[in-house]
Amino acid sequence: MTADWLVCANCAGRVSEGRCPVCRAELARLRQERGPWGTLGSPGALIALLLALAAVAFLVTRPA
């Protein structure tokens, strides 16, 4: 789950903006749940990783 579309009941702002202490606490909790590998779960990061691996495979298999 991401905080992009979560709305805080305390300040009525987006949680991702971190306007109040409740928002900031929720952001910290979400980051702790995801852990260090949480960013790889996003589709954009996975596509970038696949493209990088394909580029390396292409360079390795290319004749000299």
Domain ranges in the chain? 15-61
Q: What one-letter code names the amino acid at 63?
A: P
Residue 60 has a pLDDT of: 93
Measured distance CA(49)–CA(55) in Å, rounded: 10
pTM of the model: 0.50
CA–CA separation, 55 vs 26, rounded Å? Answer: 38
pLDDT in tens, the chain (64 residues): 556 678 888 998 888 888 999 989 988 888 787 766 666 667 777 888 899 999 999 999 988 6
According to DSSP, the residues that pair with 7 across neighbouring strands are: 14
